[in-house]
Amino acid sequence: MRVAIIGGGPGGLYAAALLKRLDPTREVTVWERNAPDVTFGFGVVLSDETLGGIEHADPVVYEALKRDFVRWDDIDIGHRGTRYRSGGHGFAALGRHRLLRILQDRCRSLGVELRFATEAPDAGLLSESYDLVVAADGVHSATRDTHAHAFGPRVTEHRCRYIWLAADFAFDAFRFEIAETEHGVMQLHGYPFTAKDSTVIVEMREEVWRAAGLDVLTPQESIERCAKIFADALGGRPLRSNNSTWTTFRTVVNDRWSHGNVVLLGDAAHTAHFSIGSGTKLAVEDALALAACLREHPDVRSASAAYEEERKPVVASTQRAARASLEWFEDLRLHLDQPSRQFAFNLLTRSRRVTHDNLRLRDARFTEAVEREFGCPPGTPPMFTPFRLRGLTLRNRVVVSPMDMYSATDGVPGDFHLVHLGARALGGAGLVMTEMVCVSEEGRITPGCAGLYTGRQAEAWRRVTDFVHRQSPGTAIGVQLGHSGRKGSTKLMWEGMDEPLPAGNWPLVAASPLPYKPGSQTPRRLSRAQLTDIREQFAAAGWRAARAGFDLLELHCAHGYLLSGFLSPLTNQRTDAYGGSLEKRLRFPLEVFDAVRAVWPAERPMTVRISATDWAEGGTTAEDAVRIARAFAAHGADAIDVSTGQVVAEERPEFGRSYQTPFADRIRHEVRVPVIAVGAISSWDDVNSLILAGRADLCALARPHLYDPHWTLHAAVEQGYTGPGAVWPAPYRAGSRRPQTGRTDAPRPRLSLGG
* Residues with a known catalytic role: 561
| DSSP per position, 272-340 | --GGG--HHHHHHHHHHHHHHHHHHSSSHHHHHHHHHHHHHHHHHHHHHHHHHHHHHHHTGGGGTTS-H
Q: Which residues contact 529 (CB under 8 A, 6 or more apart)?
A: none
Whole-angstrom Cα distance, residue 148 to residue 254? 9
Query: How many other C-beta atoms lie within 10 A of the C-beta of residue 683?
Result: 17
Closest CA to 406 of 501, 541, 478: 501
Cβ 245 vs Cβ 175: under 8 Å: no
**Helix, strand, coil fractions of the chain, as percent rounded to 5:** 40, 20, 40
Whole-angstrom Cα distance, residue 192 to residue 172? 7
Whole-angstrom Cα distance, residue 192 to residue 95? 9
Check residue 269 and report its DSSP letter: T
Closest CA to 514 of 559, 574, 555, 556: 574
User: In which order are the strands placed within the sheet that holds 2-6?
Assistant: 113-116, 27-32, 2-6, 132-135, 262-264, 258-259
- Cα–Cα distances in Å, from 439 out to 341, 434, 485, 494, 689? 46, 14, 11, 23, 36
Whole-angstrom Cα distance, residue 738 to residue 490? 43
Beta bridge partners of 669: none
Beta bridge partners of 239: 167
Closest CA to 699 of 689, 707, 709: 689
Whole-angstrom Cα distance, residue 343 to residue 695? 11
Using DSSP's 3-state secondary structure scheme, residue 545 falls into helix
Q: Which residues contact 330 (CB under 8 A, 6 or more apart)?
A: 158, 159, 160, 205
Cβ 257 vs Cβ 308: under 8 Å: yes
Geometric angle at alpha carbon 611, from 609 and 617, rounded to 5°: 170
Cβ 429 vs Cβ 399: under 8 Å: yes
- Cα–Cα distances in Å, from 651 out to 54, 71, 271, 320, 582? 41, 44, 24, 18, 20
- Burial (CB < 10 A; 0-12, 13-18, 19+), residue 684, is buried
Closest CA to 398 of 661, 700, 724: 700
Whole-angstrom Cα distance, residue 700 to residue 432? 9
The stretches of 58-152 forming alpha helices (DSSP H) are 59-68, 96-110, 123-129, 142-146, 148-151
Q: Which residues contact 595 (CB under 8 A, 6 or more apart)?
A: 535, 536, 538, 539, 542
Cβ 516 vs Cβ 570: under 8 Å: no
Beta bridge partners of 263: 134, 258
Check residue 663 and report its DSSP letter: H
CA 545 to chain centre: 35
Using DSSP's 3-state secondary structure scheme, residue 359 falls into helix
Cβ 430 vs Cβ 475: under 8 Å: yes
Closest CA to 404 of 482, 317, 320, 300: 482
